[in-house]
Amino acid sequence: MAFHLQDTVTLNNGVKMPRFGLGVYKVQEGEEVIHAVKSAIRAGYRSIDTAALYNNEEGVGQAVREAMTENGLTRDQLFITSKVWNSEQGYEKTLQAFETSLNKLGLDYIDLFLVHWPVKGKYKDTWRALEKIYEEGKVRAIGVSNFQIHHLEDLLGEAKIVPAVNQVELHPLLSQKELLNYATGKGIYLEAWAPLGQGRVLDDETLKAIGSKYGKTPAQVILRWDLQVGIITIPKSVNEQRIIENADIFNFELSAEEIAQIDGLNKNQRFGPDPDTFDF
């Protein structure tokens, strides 16, 4: 399995999405996010994951425009994701929230727009709004985030369009195998948020031992595992050296045994909220 940093998956509507990208949750608007995004694109990243909640869409947009000029890239070579926040869910509010994200980013279109959390009683109306935005050509693909199997079942019962992506918490302590199998069967790609467990799984001895065989860090082992098990991944860093480190995973390959060892670390342990009990 020889991957490259700019390799893509083909989503269920034919759109190609990079397997690897930069997450910018908790990255400060302004200088910090501009620096992180430009460092990533310079290092070869082609996908950036933001959200209205992160309050840094303007900086992401500015960085994308500057990076295109500086690196001789065209808009179609980059893939930008954003998400509608929970307080903006429902049909009309979502239509407005999308326009706000688009304006803040200063882009003509967004590549992927997601329902950030399955807000009870609202996510189906939110989805109808995303379908409309998609049909109008303002977004290249639409998807969901933090949806469990039962949320997907419920949505698919009424949706005209099958979500292209489900972005969920996923790392070695929460490998989400059941959801992965279900989503794959429906043509929905899983995308890992907190792939590094927000930095809290990097002391694991198994990951260290595997990494030491290849001269790789635990972070690199996890991100390589994501790719080999077929998951899109978006590690966050604001540190240029770690941005480069995280993407330096294309010159080694985990064996089937090592993949199984990492799979075996699963404890169904979340660091973030449970999609069935969150209340925001």
Q: Hey, which residues are catalytic here?
A: 54
* Residue 69, phi then psi, degrees to nearest 5: -65, -50
Least distance in angstroms from the C-beta of 198 to ligand NDP: 4
In contact, 155 and 124? CB cutoff 8 Å: yes
**Does 239 contact ligand NDP by CB under 6 A?**
yes
Query: How many residues belong to the chain?
Result: 280
Pairwise CA distance, residues 210 & 218, whole Å:
8
CB of 113 to ligand NDP, least distance (A): 12
Per CB under 6 A, the segment of 90-98, 174-182, 236-244, 247-255 that binds ligand NDP is 236-244
Three-state secondary structure call for residue 143: strand
Alpha-carbon distances, residue 51 vs 72, 84, 114, 171 (angstroms): 26, 7, 9, 21
146 near ligand NDP (CB under 6 A): yes
Is residue 23 a contact point for ligand NDP (CB under 6 A)?
yes
Q: Which is nearer to ligand NDP, 135 or 273 (CB)?
A: 273
Contacts of 207 (CB under 8 A, 6+ apart): 172, 201, 218, 221, 222, 262, 265
137: helix, strand or coil: coil
Angstrom CA distances, 227 to 77, 154, 188, 220, stand at: 20, 29, 16, 11
- Among 237, 247, 249, 265, indicate the residue that binds ligand NDP (CB under 6 A): 237
**Would you give the binding string for ligand NDP spanning residues 126-145, x where CB under 6 A is met?**
-------------------x
Tell me the one-letter amino acid at 163. P
> Which residues, including other chains, have CB under 8 Å from residue 143's CB and lie 6 or more apart?
112, 113, 114, 115, 163, 164, 165, 166, 167, 188
CB of 72 to ligand NDP, least distance (A): 26
Of the candidate residues 57, 111, 245, 258, the single one contacting ligand NDP (CB under 6 A)? 245
Residues of span 172-211 touching ligand NDP by CB under 6 A: 193-199, 202
Neighbours of 271 (CB within 10 A): 14
Smallest separation, CB 22 to ligand NDP (Å): 8
Q: Which of residues 258-277 bind ligand NDP (CB under 6 A)?
A: 272
Query: Considering beta carbons, is residue 31 or 160 the nearer one to ligand NDP?
Result: 31
Per-residue contact track with ligand NDP, 90 to 129, x per CB under 6 A? --------------------------x-------------
Q: How near is the Cβ of 27 to ligand NDP at its closest, in Å?
A: 7
Q: Which residues bind ligand NDP (CB under 6 A)?
A: 23-25, 49, 116, 145-146, 167, 193-199, 202, 217, 219, 234-239, 242, 245-246, 272
